[in-house]
Each structure stands twice: as structure tokens, then as C-alpha cells.
Amino acid sequence: MPSSQRGFLNSTSSYARPRSLPAIIPYNNVHRVQNLFYAKGNLRLALGDPAGAQDEYEKSIEVALALPEWALRIPGLQYPVEGCSTRDLVIVATVIGKILSAFAQSGSNPQDSQLPSQMAMSLGVADQRGGIPFEQLFRIVKNGGDAYVQRMLEMGGGVLPVVLLEPHLLNQIPAMLFHESKCTLPSMFDPAWVTPPSADGQPAESDPARRNVLASTNQTTSTMLLTLAKVLQDSLGPTSPNQLSVGGVPASQSLLLPLYYVALALYPSPSTCNNLGILLSTMNATTLIGSQDPTKPPMVLTGQVSLTSLSLSSFPSTVAHSHFAQ
């Protein structure tokens, strides 16, 4: 048995994190592997070990973030072949949220058109031309390590900065997060995207069975993110003995938001919309939203304003690629 498979099956603390996905696991079983970690996490939670449960939920998320073994040999791939942690996901989602928030603030005012680029520069993710290389965000954050995380915490005064987004902007998140895997989780990377087209020059039609597997993996990953958010939220309670963190990022309401945003973008559901709306309604943060009419002033967005417009109608069944990521 290859060493990577032995390490995956041997549940010891010495196994390198983040978790990778051995070649023995086909893409259509990824969500089943995730559910194994989920079940173990639920058992640990029932035994009064929330930190241990969190560890299992994060492993489940890392499996979804891992590239399949065949993809590790693609030349020029920017996504980290060694995998990404839940902390990496949270930080990249926050970076994207800040850029989307700057875009929303710019509205249709030409004078504010550079706000997204300026935000990207302040976050250290802009290229030399001021563009935003979304395919490199995970690599930038991963290479930045603890120093980059500390920079983000300084922006939020010791916690992650609060990012308030209008519901329709959440549709942009998958294309920005997973640019190289065409809006899908890295574990669902499709070989058809890197192979030559058919003889007539047209790409092969999407396999319905693959679409079903993709939906199952999105749903499972969304559940893992929401379950992790619940464990973190419980640790903020006055009766909790310990406040948890995600790779050194302390639990806070602002940490819960990117978990909810990604979960909702991957798999919209009424309960997720409702729970996110409740979370937003308890927050005092505000942000500006530029008007599409340059003659009108910007609108102040609060959690209460977000709650009134948050519904499944904001999430089309097919998420289009962001114009940022073209």
C-alpha cells in the first residue's frame, strides 16, 4: 500500500495536515469519505469533546479541498497541490468578500471604479497591473502563512474583519474561490477541462451522473461548514469553558460569516438562508453599497437590511462565472 494511503487510513495525530485524497478514492466516493469524518465528529461532540469534533469536521472539509491525484501532474496549476486547510478557505473567502464588498461600494460611479483593485492591493493579492489573479489566491494565502493571517486579524481588531454582502453577490464566490476547477470543489476537478475537445471541436457534454455526485459533494461540504460554524458559535457562549479557533483565527461572528457564505454558495437551502439571516440580524456592522444610479447616494447595508432580501430566489440553480474571473 502506498505511503499516502497508509497515512490516510491510519488515524494518528502524526499524519500531515491538511488531509489529502488518495488515488484509491474515486471522485464519486469523496462525499462518503467526508461523511466518515462527519460521523466521527458527531461522536466526539456527543462525548463532550467539541475541539475533537471540530478537528474531524475540518478534515472532512479538507478532503473536498484536495485535488485528485491525477491533477497533481497538471503543468502550470496554481492551486496548492499539497492541499488546503479550513483556515486557508476561510481566509481566501474573506479576501474575496472584501473585494466583492469594494465592488458593491463602487456602484456605477466612475470615480470609484478602482475600489476593487485598491482593496486587492491593500490585501496583497493584486498583480502588477492591479488585476486580481483569483487562481492564485489560495497559493498567496498559503505561502503567507501565519503572517498573512495576522495581517487579516489586525484589519478586524483581533478577529477577522466583518464582511457584509448582498445575497446576489454570493453567487460570485464559487468562480472566485475555485477558478481553476471551473467553480467546483477541487476534489471534483473534471479531466475533461484539461483534455483536448472532441473531433468536431466541441467539449464533451457534462455527464448527468457526475452532476449528481457534484451536488452530493457540495451538499456534504456545505453541511460540514455549517456544522463547524455551529461548534464555533457554541464556543462563544457564556457557559463554554473554551473559545475555539480555526488555525489560530479566534472564533467570532465575523469568522462564522465566510463559513456561511461558502456553504450557501455551494448548496443553497431554506434553513441555511434562515440561519444566516438570524446571524446577520444580530450584528451591528455596516457597509456602503453604491447606487446603480450615479445621482443617488450610496445605501448603508446592515445585517437587518440583508435579512429582508435573503432568500433562495437569490441563488440560481446554475451559478455563472464571475466577470471578475474572466
* pLDDT, tens digit, 9 for 90 and up, residues 31-86: 999 999 999 999 999 999 999 999 999 999 999 999 998 888 888 899 998 899 99
Which residues sit opposite 246 in a β-bridge? 249
Taking CA atoms, 306 is separated from 100, 220, 249, in Å, by: 15, 26, 25
Q: Which of 90, 91, 66, 94 is nearest to 181 (CA)?
A: 66
Q: Is 170 within the bounds of a domain? A: yes
The answer to whether the peptide bond before residue 268 is cis (omega within 30 degrees of 0) is no
E strand map for the chain: 245-246, 249-250, 286-289, 299-302
Residue at 147 is within a domain: yes
pLDDT at 25: 84
| Overall average pLDDT of the 121-138 stretch | 91
For residue 253, the cross-strand partners are: none
Question: Can you give the residue range of the structural domain that contains 276?
Answer: 3-7+18-189+210-235+250-318
For residue 80, being part of any structural domain is answered with: yes
Mean pLDDT for 123-136 is 90
Examine residue 204 and state whether it is found in any structural domain, yes or no. Answer: no
**Quick one: pLDDT at residue 326?**
35
Of all residues in the chain, the percent with pLDDT exceeding 90 is 50
Residue 202 included in any domain:
no
Q: Please report whether residue 265 resides in a domain.
A: yes
Q: What are phi and psi of 83, to 5 degrees?
A: 95, 170
State residue 6's pLDDT score: 44
**pLDDT score of 16:** 62
In a domain, 99, yes or no: yes
**What is the Cα–Cα distance from 225 to 228, expressed in whole angstroms?**
5
**pTM summary value:** 0.85
Decide: 290 and 107 in contact? Cβ < 8 Å.
Answer: yes
- At residue 244, the pLDDT reads 93
Q: Please report whether residue 241 resides in a domain.
A: no
**Average pLDDT for the chain:** 82
- The pLDDT confidence band at residue 20, using thresholds 50, 70 and 90, is confident
Q: Which amino acid is at 236?
A: L
The residues, ordered by sequence, that sit 6+ positions from 308 with a Cβ below 8 Å of its Cβ are none
The larger pLDDT score, comparing residue 238 to residue 79, is at 79
Give the count of domains, the chain. 1
Which amino acid makes up residue 15? Y
* 265-311 pLDDT per residue, tens: 999 988 888 888 888 888 887 776 665 655 666 667 676 654 445 55
